[in-house]
Structure formats: structure tokens, C-alpha cells
Amino acid sequence: MSERSIFREEGLQALIEALSRRGFRVIGPTIGDGAIIYDDVEALGDLPRGYTDEQEAGRYRLARRDDAALFGYAVGPQSWKRFLHQPLLRLWRAERKGQDVIVEAEPPATEKLAFLGVRACELHAIEIQDRVLIGGDYVDPHYESKREGAFIVAVNCGTAGGTCFCVSMNTGPRATRGFDLALTELTLEGGNGFLVEVGSPAGAELLAELPSRPASREEMDDGDAVVARTAASMGRAMPAEDIHALLMRNLDHERWDEVAQRCLSCANCTMVCPTCFCTSVEDHNDLSGAESSRTRRWDSCFTMDYSYIHGGSVRPGVASRYRQWMTHKLSTWFDQFGTSGCVGCGRCITWCPVGIDITEETRAISDSEKLLGAADGKS
């Protein structure tokens, strides 16, 4: 086990200040619009101290904790995707000058981002988006510029949400890679503190500036116990079988039509998903025809336009759109990118306006096969 350190809340405040001094825009959890969202944080006071969240399918509520924990909740409605892979982005603008048209590409942003409180599932989601957006032959320069300079402070989860299922996706609740520093919130003698693990040279360099001390064996055990408790209290689980094969065997399953009765095709699941990366482009021009521009915005496989080609939409029915999303996320993502596209964060379950649960949908298909198998066995 690697060496770990301890700092108290003052250390976390010092961390925020040190990042600001280095020119980072520090973004972390804070309360807004009745939820824990990610926004600019300047001091410990901006964090949701003493709050937690209650999450169920289609339901999210803020609630008070009976302690003063700073990270005592699961993930909220937003993900870091919002900052790395922006919802709206102008790609270029063009201007007519006499006989010429001058096209100017949007320069990548130079802002340096520091993320505070990134959970294990979210680290996996960022790793997945890295693979998709900058890992192949075609690199998205906008994502790349934001991602390359980003400093990541992870937090090992001390509380599992009602819709969390990272354990069954092997993506948490412990942060294992992809961070500069990782914190575990602990109750120490005389107040809260953090067990700190270093994940990169940049993290080590920053930690050296902070008021910390080496962690004791007991404190490291305490940190492990926090994560173990969280792992044991997951709100949900994905069925433990080869989901990739399960879904590919069941492309004509009646469950797709059943879920389409409930699905609103509103696209909320794809918007809140930290790995969904699809975009569309829109062209604009001014009334005189002298200036035009192209904007990229998040799109979703749940819209008709998404699969529109000459003659109409390829997936006019909601059953085919839900199936496209779920089979891509859980199955064909393996073929395309080598991993699952799901990290078990539970956002699609919580933020579905009618509470459709991806683990329940998978289980329904899985259970129907078992029933069928049992019936076959009897006959």
C-alpha cells in the first residue's frame, strides 16, 4: 500500500487556495437549485457541509446529515462532462469580405480547470470520454485543451446513493487511477480530516505545500473501512453476467416495446450520463448573409433528428431508440471502445422523469431468459 497523508479541513482550504494561486479555476460541489451541483468554489464554505442526497428512480431530494461532513452525498445531476465537453460550443465563424469568405476556427479555450470532489465512477467516465474524444485518430481540440491542463482531486465515496451501482460495474467506490490527489473524509480527534493519496507528480508537488502529516496505520485502515462500508451499501446492482452477450441475444425481446410504453424519449438520461458524448451541429447566418457560424451542441440518440437521413428517421419508434441507447451503453460500447459505456453512477435512473432503471431493464431481460431456461429444463 502506498504511503498516505492526513490533512485537516484547513488543508483542504489551503488546497483550494494553492490551486487558485496556480491559475486554476476550481470547480467543486455546491448547493444550487435544490441539488448538489458542480460550480466555482473559492472556500470551504461553498461546499455542501452537513448535506446529503436521497436518490431513487425519478426522485432526488437534498437532506441534512447529522454530522458536518463535506462530501457526505453521492453524485448530483451534473457531471464533469459539462466542463470538459461543453453543452454548446461555437466551432467556427465565417465572414464575407468582398469576393472572399474568411473562415475563422474557434480557438481552444486556455482556461485551466481543477475539479474538486471527483468520484471513482466519474474518473472512469472521464477516462471513457478521453478514449472517445482524444484517444483515436480524430482528436477534439476543445476537449483536449481542457482535459490536458485539468487537475483532479478525487474523493472516495463515504455514502452510496440509492441509485448507485458502481460496485457491480467495477468502477468504484474507491478511486484507483486518473487523479492527482484522492481524499477520504475521516472523523479525526477534534474534527474532520482527510486521508490523502497522491496519484501524480503534480499532486505530490501540491501536497508538499499543504499542512499535512503522514497517516498512521490505523487512519489508513479507517479510510479503507469507509470505502468498504460504501461498497456494501450500494442502492442497486447490475446483474452479474455477460451483459454484452445478453443484450445481443435479445435484440427482439418484448421488453423493448414494454419500456417504450414508459419512455418519454425526452433524452434526460443521455444528457446526465457522464459518458454520452453525441453532438449535433447547427448552422447560423445573419440576415444580410455576410456572417455565418457553426455551433456544436449535445445531442441524443433519443431524438428523431439524431438518426435522420434522407427520407426520414432510421429509428422512428421509441423502442428502437431506447434499445439503441441501452445496447450501445452496455454492449456495443465494448466492440467500439473496449469497455462498457456505463460507470454505474445512477444518474440516468435518478433523473429519468418517469424513473426508468437501466439495471431493472437489464434484469428483466436476464430474468426472462432464466425463466425460459427453467421451463425448457422441465419440459
Partner 1 sequence: MDATKKPRLGVWKFASCDGCQLSLLDCEDELLAIAGAIDIAYFPEATRGEISGVYDLSLVEGSVTTAHDAERILDVRKRSKKLVTIGACATAGGIQALRNFADVREYAAIVYAHPEYIHTLAASTAIAEHVPVDFELRGCPINKGQLVDVVAAFLAGRRPNTPAHSVCIECKLKGNVCVMVARATPCLGPVTHAGCGALCPSYDRGCYGCFGPKETPNAPSLSVWLAGLGMDEKALERVYRSFNANAEPFRNESERHGAQDHKG
Closest separation between CB of residue 264 and partner 1, Å? 4
Closest separation between CB of residue 246 and partner 1, Å? 25
Give the 3-state secondary structure of residue 83. Answer: helix
Judged by CB, which is closer to partner 1: 24, or 302? Answer: 302
Residue pair 220/228 in contact by the 8 Å Cβ criterion: no
Alpha-carbon span 30 to 51, nearest angstrom: 10
Closest separation between CB of residue 289 and partner 1, Å? 6
Residue pair 264/354 in contact by the 8 Å Cβ criterion: yes
What are φ and ψ of residue 313, in 5° steps?
A: -85, 140
Interacting residues with partner 1 (CB under 8 A): 32-35, 37, 58-62, 77-78, 82, 87-88, 261-268, 271-272, 282-289, 292, 297-298, 300, 302-305, 316, 318, 350-351, 353-355
Closest separation between CB of residue 158 and partner 1, Å? 22
Judged by CB, which is closer to partner 1: 249, or 262? Answer: 262
Closest separation between CB of residue 227 and partner 1, Å? 28
Alpha-carbon span 90 to 69, nearest angstrom: 40
**Measured between alpha carbons, how far is residue 194 from residues 76, 124, 159, 161 in Å?**
22, 22, 15, 21
Long-range contacts of 63-72 (CB under 8 A, 24+ apart): 67/187, 68/192, 69/158, 69/185, 69/192, 70/9, 70/12, 70/44, 70/185, 70/192, 71/29, 71/47, 71/117, 71/155, 71/157, 71/158, 71/183, 71/185, 72/158, 72/159, 72/185
Judged by CB, which is closer to partner 1: 6, or 273? Answer: 273
Omega before 201 within 30 of 0, i.e. cis = no
How many alpha carbons lie under 13 Å from residue 251 in its C-beta half-sphere?
9
Closest separation between CB of residue 75 and partner 1, Å? 13
Judged by CB, which is closer to partner 1: 74, or 243? Answer: 74
Judged by CB, which is closer to partner 1: 178, or 346? Answer: 346
Judged by CB, which is closer to partner 1: 228, or 290? Answer: 290
Judged by CB, which is closer to partner 1: 168, or 265? Answer: 265
Pairing relationship of beta strands 24-32 and 112-118 according to DSSP bridges: parallel
Judged by CB, which is closer to partner 1: 67, or 286? Answer: 286
DSSP string, 276-293: ---EEEEEEE-TTSSEEE
Closest separation between CB of residue 26 and partner 1, Å? 18
- CA geometry: angle at 63 spanning 57 and 68, to 5°? 135
Closest separation between CB of residue 337 and partner 1, Å? 23
